[in-house]
Structure 1
């Protein structure tokens, strides 16, 4: 047991000391850069993707905590937090709060973790629809923190445009075909669950329920026993994730089919070749680098098209911030929370139903001045309110108010 004298006062300085924790370099780079720009002292501890033995994990964490003495630990999607609850125990002994910012559905992640409430924890979620359900899981400190953009990274790199990237309308995104297959393989469900999966996924996608597992048990009670027979948390989460990804695949395909008549450029994984096989009117391009390619890519499309993952029913995704940050025009699907972030019509243009897509694409292709005005207004809003510097400042304010 760590002795109490090894603890230290927290939040005594104007700017806190933050230990950034991860096992994948996912969004932590943006937060690290925001810390540097904001003059926030920080340390990045990356455990990598390889398994670490318990003694090695404890030794590394003890050494880092006692040497750096952070005011709090910050992670994204609980990456770097062990599922057995060892980190939670250590943080409790040192009285160090934990901030975990979820930018994917927390219900598809948290179920695999033990000792979740053993430390002073704040859960931040990019989707305000999750607030009540997270509190229902026993978390006392739950806060809404939407995504953002890093304008210092989302900048063009090329002196000349890549001509093959030019398109009247483009979509950048995963088909979800491979992801859905991997999750169903990991779940190893009964034949009955496999056969019912597509029907459940479609119904879930058409609902307002954010949690696929909860939706299935409530609306398809005849499948409850088969779901419970999956036994382990990991297999159940794999099946819930399959339902979410399959619902996204169905919705995304329905939306993308509506833009093919406009000489669409589809950028993503090879699954698109399978899903759109034999369909005329589109071009395929393999996946592009987020930072090296997309800042140059977005401005070369008259219309950047977006259709949101079904893991969020009310929140907006990364594309809603990234595309205008790059000075480009976006057509996206309506999400309830977007009106808190952008002014509809003047800063963001959306469709309510896939049937509206062709008409909106046609209209905005013929109105370059309107596209330009919306893109410029959206970029001004992103720079004024929606950068990761803004998000970090808000997170720090909440952590200080909650745990100081």
Structure 2
């Protein structure tokens, strides 16, 4: 009979395992914190400019742009689409920057842009939803002085529509929101994916369902219950509905591996049938969170991250499954890649870096 006060062998093993896990987590976060301190982000003095920014309603992107403009210009006014012409008249900005111009914008959006231009204000739009709504952006783009698109395939197309000043400008990460952090147990996972169940994603996860059911998997987003044939296998791992950027950041920081899978571009409103060549904002946000990212490949990915050194890539569900197994069993290699991506993101891929480039283009310094 075991004596009172003596710990069981299972208890000793549990204590050792808990100590090792705590030490490993502390080491990872300590390295991340050292990286954050060494890479504070954009450090140039702000330009003597007044900018009126009109948000789209993509919270993580809008927060990032506001964060970036706050660092790059001397005066920032955050307006709204319904009254942007009146706001331009009131504040006399050097630039009115509109994010995307879709979905939530009023019917008189383009009339307001014409009024703003008639005041002598520069106008620029940054499309962040290309190429999925080309039927609408074809109408919008020619009304602006400068057109910026995050999608490589769209730049020449906008020029073909008669837009004189078109520039490819990738998205980025808000490093105030997306950053490594100590995360509560409910946000921890082996594999995490956040996104809507577009048809290509549903097919991908159907082929991965049995494998992912054997891991601590978290899938967050809408339409999974109706589009995933193997929903029953993953039902207890799926959290439906919208998740705020702050919650997303916690799930990313708490995951060993974050999957990224771009949506298909064969969409009803992509009437120009343009391909998707550019990475989504999640690519930067995951990297900024200190987690290993496993992503499908788009053409411009190597311009921003080095596959195999800063980010892991796959081209099929089978390859993704193999790499998940591989990296879950190689903690040192997994974390080293995550740290490399974190450094790259904070040095090069913040919204302040992007807005600095945009302003240089508009005001003739590029």
Equivalents in 2 of 1:138, 1:258: separation in Å?
50
Q: Do structure 1's residue 389 and structure 2's residue 358 form an aligned pair?
A: no
Q: Residue deviations 1:10-36, cap 9 Å, x none?
A: xxx953211111363642222222222
1:315 aligned residue: 278
Contact (CA 8 Å) 2:213, 2:233: kept in 1 or not?
Answer: no
Q: Residue deviations 1:332-353, cap 9 Å, x none?
A: 1111110000112111110122
C-alpha displacement at 1:115, in angstroms? 7.1
Contact (CA 8 Å) 1:258, 1:358: kept in 2 or not?
Answer: no
Equivalents in 2 of 1:301, 1:357: separation in Å?
16
Given candidates 157, 171, 174, the residue that maps to 1:147 is 171
Q: Residue deviations 1:19-66, cap 9 Å, x none?
A: 11136364222222222233431211124xxxx6xxxx5xx624x223
1:19 aligned residue: 52
Question: Aligned Cα RMSD in Å?
Answer: 2.9
Give the secondary-structure state (helix, strand or coil) at the position aligned to 2:261: coil
Equivalents in 2 of 1:264, 1:173: separation in Å?
17
Give the secondary-structure state (helix, strand or coil) at the position aligned to 1:360: helix
Contact (CA 8 Å) 1:18, 1:41: kept in 2 or not?
Answer: yes
Q: Residue deviations 1:173-232, cap 9 Å, x none?
A: 1113xxxxxxxxxxxxxxxxxxxxxxxxxxxxxxxxxxxxxxxxxxxxxxxxxxxxxxxx
1:271 aligned residue: 223
Q: With structure 1 as the length reference, what TM-score do the two structures score?
A: 0.68
Equivalence map 1:329-368=2 (5 Å): 329-368=292-331
Give the secondary-structure state (helix, strand or coil) at the position aligned to 1:316: coil
Contact (CA 8 Å) 1:172, 1:268: kept in 2 or not?
Answer: yes
Give the secondary-structure state (helix, strand or coil) at the position aligned to 1:359: helix
Equivalents in 2 of 1:39, 1:118: separation in Å?
24
Equivalence map 1:220-369=2 (5 Å): 246=199, 248-253=200-205, 256-257=208-209, 259-269=211-221, 271-274=223-226, 275=228, 276-279=230-233, 283-287=237-241, 289-311=243-265, 313-369=276-332
Q: Residue deviations 1:252-289, cap 9 Å, x none?
A: 44565475254252332352233233326962234564
Give the secondary-structure state (helix, strand or coil) at the position aligned to 1:394: helix
Q: Residue deviations 1:57-99, cap 9 Å, x none?
A: 5xx624x223311111101111576545312321231122211
Q: 1:313 to 1:264 in 2, by over 3 A?
A: farther
1:205 aligned residue: none
Q: 1:14 to 1:368 in 2, by over 3 A?
A: closer
Q: 1:301 to 1:293 in 2, by over 3 A?
A: same
Give the secondary-structure state (helix, strand or coil) at the position aligned to 2:233: coil
Q: Which moved more, 1:387-396 or 1:274-283?
A: 274-283
Give the secondary-structure state (helix, strand or coil) at the position aligned to 2:162: coil
Give the secondary-structure state (helix, strand or coil) at the position aligned to 2:362: helix
Q: With structure 2 as the length reference, what TM-score do the two structures score?
A: 0.74
- Unaligned runs of 5+ residues in structure 1 are 1-12, 177-245
Give the secondary-structure state (helix, strand or coil) at the position aligned to 2:338: helix
